[in-house]
Amino acid sequence: MKKSLIVALLFVFALSAQFVYAGDKIRLGTEGAYPPFNYIDSSGELQGFDVDIAKALCEAAGVDYEFVVQDWDGIIPGLIAKKYDCIIASMSITAEREKKVDFTNKYYQTPVRLVASKDNKVDLFLNGIKGKKIGVQRGTVGANLARAKFGDVATIKAYATQEEANMDLASGRLDLACADSVILQTGFLDTEEGEDFTFVGPNFTDEKHLGKGIGIAVREGDTELVEMFNKAIKTIRDNGVYKKINNKYFDFDVYGAE
């Protein structure tokens, strides 16, 4: 009798361990300062593509969730410290980050670009960027690329948020900004402050500096959560939910190449 009870308890324990998130609330870490992907609206609510995708993924996986807002500089340390269970905040899958956390498959991928004043004749191919000041957000692939490509000839100035970099660009304290192309388009060029600015140079897509797309970060070894989200990403891509969310924010497929 005791043996049967022990076997039954072991079975229940194994089952609960295997599906630890099935009945629990997953804590989703995000920044809330990266429009249109994640931001806090005038009523204090989280909005954006990342936020809607996160909700859709949790619904597809059949799990409850709550968001935890965290400044970008501390977002990976916060995950490691178990302040939340994953990061859904437009985080690029890079080799450097993969030393600290695990990632799901990508859920979108867009190039990095440079923006400058329409009056600022920047020629990236004839040393025209020499001596310029380039604004980036700290800890982003845009910052990685700017330092790798232009750090020897230009001054790279890092900011806590992309909005701060955009403000200094608009005020003339910077010559260029380097960031995700969608962020620069919707968060700056499409605004009144950005109307006198334009993209310069090519689309940057190299994996060495920009990674393999945007994924969901989890703590090392949390294979169950990775598998759950990978399955959910495929589900919302197949059933049209992803496309519906995509079209709410963009007039092109933000997912990129398959």
Where residue 146 sits, what CATH number does that domain have? 3.40.190.10
Tell me how many domains the chain contains. Answer: 2
* 204 in the same domain as 119: yes
- Are 47 and 130 members of one domain? no
| 177 part of a folded domain | yes
**Residue 62 and residue 100 in one domain:** yes
Calculate the alpha carbon distances from 250 to 16, 77, 181, 242, 243 in Å: 40, 31, 12, 12, 10
Q: Are residues 123 and 197 in the same domain?
A: yes
State the pLDDT at residue 128.
Answer: 80
Q: Judge if 147 and 180 occupy the same domain.
A: yes
Same domain, 76 and 191: no
pLDDT of residue 124: 67
Residue-wise pLDDT tens for the chain (258 aa)? 444 444 444 444 433 333 455 457 999 999 999 999 999 999 999 999 999 999 999 999 999 999 999 999 999 999 999 999 999 999 999 999 999 999 999 999 999 999 999 988 777 655 688 899 999 999 999 999 999 999 999 999 999 999 999 999 999 999 999 999 999 999 999 999 999 999 998 999 999 999 999 999 999 999 999 999 999 999 999 999 999 999 999 999 999 988
Residues 125, 204, single domain; the answer is yes
- Is there a single domain that holds both residue 29 and residue 149? no
57 in the same domain as 41: yes
Q: C-alpha distances in angstroms, 240 versus 4, 147, 231, 236?
A: 47, 39, 15, 6
Beta-carbon count within 10 A of 70 CB: 20
Is 5 inside a domain boundary? no
